[in-house]
Amino acid sequence: MLIIYAHPNKTGNCGEILKNVIEELNQQKVSFKLIDLYEINYDPILNNSELYSAGNHEISEQNKLFQKQILENNKFIFIYPTWWNNMPAILKGFIDRVFTSNFGFKYVRGIPCGLLNGRALVFTSTGASKFLYYIFLGGRSLKILTKDSLKFCGLKTKGYVIGKATELDEKQKIKIKKIVKNGLKFLS
């Protein structure tokens, strides 16, 4: 199992999600690898040498390693905050630079075809209530990653939103624990 964590802080709501995921996986004796994008200071900038549209196709050694790890796994967990109704730029850059054409997907007669197999569980946090997140924002942040990116690459996805994530009190910790426990069933 591969966990991709995209938040600079581990003491807030996303950090609590990560802590609960790790505790549950350890309890279930499930081995996993964690890629903490901020901790490794991941460079999200897509360079001209990586652009397929420019006729290039360079992939850095770091991103080749991530692709290898993705191919070695079939279960993934993504954890990130919703900022400006989207994922953080560091995670978007990771998707851009790692889930490349002819790795994550390819076009067959102009139709996109996902090349990856497995399941991806996605957790995001937002300051808005869950109700407002879906009614006024359309759940866009979650859809961009689950449907527009990961499902496009062939993965089955399920996403969870942690609303009202402006504070982390005991009530919020209990809610997160319950959501994580329930969400992990998708990967069983």
Least confident of 26-40, 42-56, 68-82, 127-141: 42-56
Q: What is the mean pLDDT of the chain?
A: 93
pLDDT at 51: 74
For the segment 69-94, the average pLDDT, to the nearest whole number, is 97
> Residues 16-56: pLDDT tens digits?
999 999 999 999 999 999 999 999 999 999 888 777 655 56
Question: What are the start-end ranges of the H helices in the chain?
Answer: 13-27, 61-71, 89-98, 130-135, 140-143, 170-184
- Catalogue all structural domains in the chain, each as residue range(s) with its CATH number: 2-187 (3.40.50.360)
> Residues 151-178: pLDDT tens digits?
999 999 999 999 999 999 999 999 999 9
Helix axes 13-27, 170-184, angle to 10 degrees: 50
Quickly tell me which residue has 């069933």 as its tokens: 185
- Evaluate if residue 57 carries a pLDDT over 70: yes
Residue 41 CB partners (closer than 8 Å, separation 6+): none
List, as one string, the DSSP characters of 81-124.
E-BTTB--HHHHHHHHHHS-BTTTEEEETTEEEE---SEEEEEE
Distance CA 69, CA 1 (A): 9
pLDDT band at 88 (very low <50, low <70, confident <90, very high): very high
The share of the chain scoring above pLDDT 70, in percent, equals 97
